[in-house]
Amino acid sequence: MESRWDDGAAAAHGGPVGECVYCTRLIGGDPSLVLHGGGNSSVKAPVDDITGTTVDALHVKGSGWDMATIEAAGLTPLRLSRVRELLEVDRLSDPDMMRELGAAKLDPGAPNPSVETLLHAYLPHRAVQHSHADVIVNITNLGNGHDVVRDIYGDDVVVVPYVMPGFDLARLVRDVWPDQSHAATVGMVLLNHGLFTFGETSAEAYRHHVELVSKAEQWLDQHAPVDESAPVDPPGATLMTDLADLRRTMSEVAGRPLVVQRHTDEATRRFVGRADHGDLATRGPLTPDHVIRTKRVPMIGRDVAAYAEEYSAYVARNASRARTQLTELDGAPRVVLDPQLGMLTAGPTVTDAQIAADIYHHTMAVLTRAEDHLGGYVALPEGDIFDLEYWDLEQAKLARGGARPELTGQVAVVTGAASGIGRACARALLERGACVTGIDRSPSIADTFSGAAWHGVAADVTDAGAQLEAIEATVERFGGIDVAVVAAGIFGASVPIAELEIDEWRAVMEINLDSVVTLLRGLHPLLVRSPVGGRVVVIGSKNVPAPGKGAAAYSSSKAALTQLTRIAALEWADDGIRVNTVHPDAVFDTGLWTDELLAERAARYDLSVDDYKRRNLLRTEVRAATVGAAVAALCGDAFSATTGAQIPIDGGNERVI
């Protein structure tokens, strides 16, 4: 492990709490040490309360803060003497422990402290850092893990057998610490869990972390060298409908739509190509913390029903271990391993699916190394995994969990998404929790939005092949498609029919109508496999019910598009797909309307620009966001009984009415 410590950068954070923040970020920013919320840190430093009294305090990482990005506010200050008193209690449930820790906070507004707070308080060092380093779980998930730790570190570390985090772990450490520790002790290895290091300062704790992780790396390189030079088969060909079918089945078991990502990188293909990957992968996670994200074991193959049945059996076998009333979690897999598919990871959001992927990429490397070179991978018994999966603290989190955005877990495709109404529709869907692929011929589409739920594809909708590639990429990235919003279109030349060039007519028809036929034809096999029922919304135009002069190509294309939408509503109703149209008008905050054009049109009617924008019955300005919100609403449950509708979004137009 390479040290990344910089004295100047550490000093810039100011004082022991700032140095702890800096140290925590260094460790938390290394995925080989900490993944997605794992690990914790602390520093003991006095604080002056409002009366001016100096109080000995423990500043420990707060719940909900990621080590990689933590700020000083993420370290919760607690009265150290009170926390240490809790260690003298004979028995303490974890919920009671967390309540007492909450009462010990010196700042009531600080986050809830780490469940490992008692352990941090007990350790006789000012600064403490804790990680779930890959190399540590690699050497401890072995039949002789304890002996390997002693072989590597001698008596430089305290070795603690696995026990549940929280009060039980803190008491166990208190029991074993006096017999194993001495003046030269620099760390503590928790078998099947991770590494603690400590020192008088965070700099010293970090230095010990580097030293101990490096020793484990060197031992593994000597005893379990990694060789990835052997060729690996290319990813297997997979139909989009196969992935969509699997996502639908997994979502049905989960009771909600899931995002499913496919991974076919070389390391994954090498692992699923092993003859023993099914046996190896189903022995258990690297550390029980992972069960919250990945379930205890992956699904091998594609039999979701069998996996769910075995999950329920696992819960039944261990239900008596639950410390509180048990609410069974859904039995859908979060990781799927299949020689043809590669690895699929799933979750209610794309972030959840990506976290499962990150964890399992690290898991595959550890499993392979332990199995091939170190006598075999040995996980904890399933009861220990169950204890953490159904930990009363985790069950309490489920009970407190608020409602997710309405479209969470759903996947949408929006054409013309780089600007105007298409962009507004994409934004509205993202804000409601959907994953969105935006298709637009503008190269800016890739960066129109940020975040894992956004996928921008630069493609011309008139290119059928490019459209299909965008659809395929969406299924690989998110698992299927539930929503389609057709917003791509052009107005064309504003000329009378007598002056209309046939090439101009055909160009407008190709974009506004023909490309939509191609898109809908390609999307139907996926929409019909949606776990929530497919939804299509087409952006029409006020010109359909109320055309004007000089827009023959545009008005005709939108009228034909509306008729196409009506037929799709008729044909696809039996498939549970609803298809609706919105007809916007006077949406002036798009690229079609420049300040000069608005001024010219307003002057034509002898109106101010502001009055011109509100030249409708409701005297309201119709913005792209107005249309986007309506489209997103049509995709939600409020319109579950609506298909074939045509909805004006124009502030009220006398000619339309």
CATH number for 217: 3.40.225.10
Asked if residue 420 and residue 364 are part of one domain, the reply reads: no
Of 248, 259, 332, which Cα lies nearest the Cα of 529?
248
630 assigned to some structural domain: yes
Of 372, 398, 382, which Cα lies nearest the Cα of 230?
372
Asked if residue 304 and residue 422 are part of one domain, the reply reads: no
Of the chain, the end-to-end C-alpha distance in Å amounts to 71
Asked if residue 609 and residue 471 are part of one domain, the reply reads: no
Backbone angles phi, psi at 610, to 5 degrees: -65, -40
* Residue 396 pLDDT: 67
Asked if residue 632 and residue 491 are part of one domain, the reply reads: yes
Residue that finishes a domain, picked among 400, 427, 458: 400
244 assigned to some structural domain: yes
Q: Which residues are catalytic?
A: 554
235 assigned to some structural domain: no
Asked if residue 566 and residue 632 are part of one domain, the reply reads: yes
Report the C-alpha gap between 276 and 279 in whole angstroms: 5
**N residues, the chain:** 657
Asked if residue 567 and residue 474 are part of one domain, the reply reads: yes
Report the C-alpha gap between 91 and 638 in whole angstroms: 50
Asked if residue 177 and residue 36 are part of one domain, the reply reads: yes
Report the C-alpha gap between 492 and 23 in whole angstroms: 59
DSSP characters over 267-319: HHHHHHTSTTHHHHHTS--SSGGGHHHH-SSPEESS-HHHHHHHHHHHHHHHG
CB-based contacts of 345, cutoff 8 Å, min separation 6: 260, 261, 263, 334, 335, 336, 353, 354, 356, 357, 360
537 assigned to some structural domain: yes
433 assigned to some structural domain: yes
Residue that finishes a domain, picked among 198, 223, 248: 223
Domain that holds residue 546: 411-587+622-649
- Beta strands 335-338 and 435-440: pairing type? unpaired
* Residue 132 pLDDT: 96
Distances (CA, A) of 275 to 49, 188, 226, 228, 278: 62, 37, 18, 17, 8
* Residue 227 pLDDT: 85
Asked if residue 61 and residue 11 are part of one domain, the reply reads: yes
Report the C-alpha gap between 552 and 540 in whole angstroms: 15
Report the C-alpha gap between 430 and 449 in whole angstroms: 9
Residues of the chain with pLDDT under 70: 395-401
Report the C-alpha gap between 222 and 373 in whole angstroms: 10
For 330-410, where are the E strands, in sequence order?
335-338, 342-347
Backbone angles phi, psi at 417, to 5 degrees: -90, 0
Largest Cα separation within the chain, whole Å, is 99
Distances (CA, A) of 327 to 274, 311, 319: 36, 14, 10
Q: How does DSSP classify residue 89?
A: -
The neighbour count for residue 294, using CB atoms within 10 Å, is 23
Would the pTM count as exceeding 0.75?
yes
Report the C-alpha gap between 461 and 418 in whole angstroms: 13
655 assigned to some structural domain: no
Asked if residue 154 and residue 18 are part of one domain, the reply reads: yes
Q: Report the chain's C-alpha Rg in angstroms.
A: 30
* Residue 601 pLDDT: 83
Tell me the percentage of the chain whose pLDDT exceeds 70: 99
Q: For the chain, how many structural domains are there in total?
A: 4
Q: Which residues of 64-96 are buried (b: 16+ CB within 10 A; e: fewer)?
A: ebbbbebeeebbbbbbbebbeebbeeeebebbe
Distances (CA, A) of 395 to 141, 255, 308, 331, 399: 27, 18, 20, 16, 6
Asked if residue 192 and residue 90 are part of one domain, the reply reads: yes
Encoded tokens for 82: 């009170």
CATH of the domain at 643: 3.40.50.720
Asked if residue 610 and residue 548 are part of one domain, the reply reads: no
1 assigned to some structural domain: no
Of 480, 452, 529, which Cα lies nearest the Cα of 262?
480
* Residue 163 pLDDT: 95
- Classify 236 as helix, strand or coil: coil
Distances (CA, A) of 37 to 20, 131, 288, 295: 17, 10, 14, 16
Asked if residue 441 and residue 392 are part of one domain, the reply reads: no
Task: Please name the amino acid found at residue 619.
Answer: R
CATH of the domain at 350: 3.40.225
370 assigned to some structural domain: yes
Report the C-alpha gap between 27 and 3 in whole angstroms: 10
For 479-551, where are the E strands, in sequence order?
483-486, 535-539
The neighbour count for residue 268, using CB atoms within 10 Å, is 21
